[in-house]
Every structure is written in structure tokens, then in C-alpha cells.
Amino acid sequence: MHHIYHTNSIVLDTFPTGEADMTILLFTKELGMISAVAKSVRSAKSKLKYSLQIGSISKVDLVRGKQVWRIISATPVDRINILDQETRRVVSKSFRFIKRMVDKEKEEKGIYSDLEALLFSTKKGHSSEKLGEIELVFYLRSLFRLGYIANNLEFKDILASEYSVNEDTPLSLPRKKILEAIKNAIYESHL
């Protein structure tokens, strides 16, 4: 008998497999980033396809097979409808960043929370300048959680667990300083 894993997840990407199957790249709260196969999800009568679209936040039930994870059920928690192009660009770049920087099947609860916060904050219809700040804060916090940025007193406010970007509140540091730290961390990671 296989153990069923119940976890919240964010759909980062999807890849068609076979006639009606799909490989889904999920970022889960407990398991980190994993690839899982969803059987017959592209068929017209599939109940899973609405819960497994890119940008969806879903509760999924997974089973570990011999070689792959399998999705046995999924229930949508929230669907991020990204209507404007600037928001779509920010979310897409953030997903690519996660796929590049995070190892598969390694628990990263902090990054999951930051990714979820990024998705929820993009729903609020911020200005393009504020979206840029949200993106920078997400990158900085993710790189810190992955160990590429030291716990610097300069970034103490941004790296605090309860930090969030508001339309009214400016960043606590100049954008240039945050951008420089992000670029240095990515360069040093050799990824």
C-alpha cells in the first residue's frame, strides 16, 4: 500500500505527456519542487484540469511511484487570474527563477510562503513600479532562504518573516542596493 501525501501546492509549469496525460511541476509546502504525473488530465471530462493550471494554488494528494510522483486528486484553493501583461511577466519570471534555483524534492516552506505571497499580492492590481518592488523582495527573500545571501543587518526589515510590500509603504532600502545584492548572489551561485 502506498502512502498518500496531502499538501498545498503551486503549479509552476505543465508538460503534455502521451495522449491525455500531463507532467506537472509543483512547488509544494512539504515536499518542495516536484514533478508529478496527472493521468487523463487533458481529456474533456477531467476533473483535475481546473486545479492544475499554471498559477493555481491547490490542495493535492500525491502518491510516490517507483520512478515518479502521481497526482491522485486536486482541489483548487485559489486561481490567480493574471490579466495584465506586466503582472504576467513578473509571475512568469518568478516561476523561472524558482525552477532554476531550487533543487527538486527539498522542503522549502519559507520559499513556498513567499511564492504564495507573491501570487496573492499580484492579485491586488499594483502599479508597475510596485510590481517591480514585489518582484525584488521575492528574489531577495528566496536567495536568503536558499543561503545565497547572508543575514545582513541592511536587509533585516525585508527578510523579516512578516514583511509584505504595500502600495503605501516604500521599500526600506534603495532598489539599486537590493538589485546589486540579488545580482551578486546569482553570480556567486554559478547557476
What pLDDT is stored for residue 36 in this prediction? 92
Residue 100 CA to residue 113 CA, distance in Å, equals: 18
Residues 99-133 pLDDT 10s: 999 988 888 878 998 898 888 887 777 777 888 88
Mean pLDDT of 47-61: 86
Residue 161, pLDDT score: 67
User: Can you name the residues that pair with 5 across neighbouring β-strands?
Assistant: 62
What are the extents of the domains in the chain?
4-79, 85-189
Looking at residue 62, its pLDDT comes to 93
Quick count: other Cβ atoms within 10 Å of Cβ 7? Answer: 16
Contact 173, 154 (CB under 8 A): yes
Strands 69-79 and 32-38: parallel
Residue 29 vs residues 23, 25, 121, 138: alpha-carbon distances, Å:
19, 13, 18, 17
CATH number 2.40.50.140 given to 4-79: yes
pLDDT in tens, 65-112: 888 899 998 988 877 666 678 888 888 999 999 999 998 888 887 899
pLDDT at 1: 63
| Mean residue pLDDT across the chain | 84
Write the DSSP assignment of 103-169 as a string of letters. PBT---HHHHHHHHHHHHHHTT---HHHHHHHHHHHHHHHHHHTTSS---GGGHHHHSTT----SSS
Cβ neighbours of residue 123 closer than 8 Å, sequence gap 6 or more: 80, 81
Question: What is the pLDDT, as a whole number, of residue 41?
Answer: 81
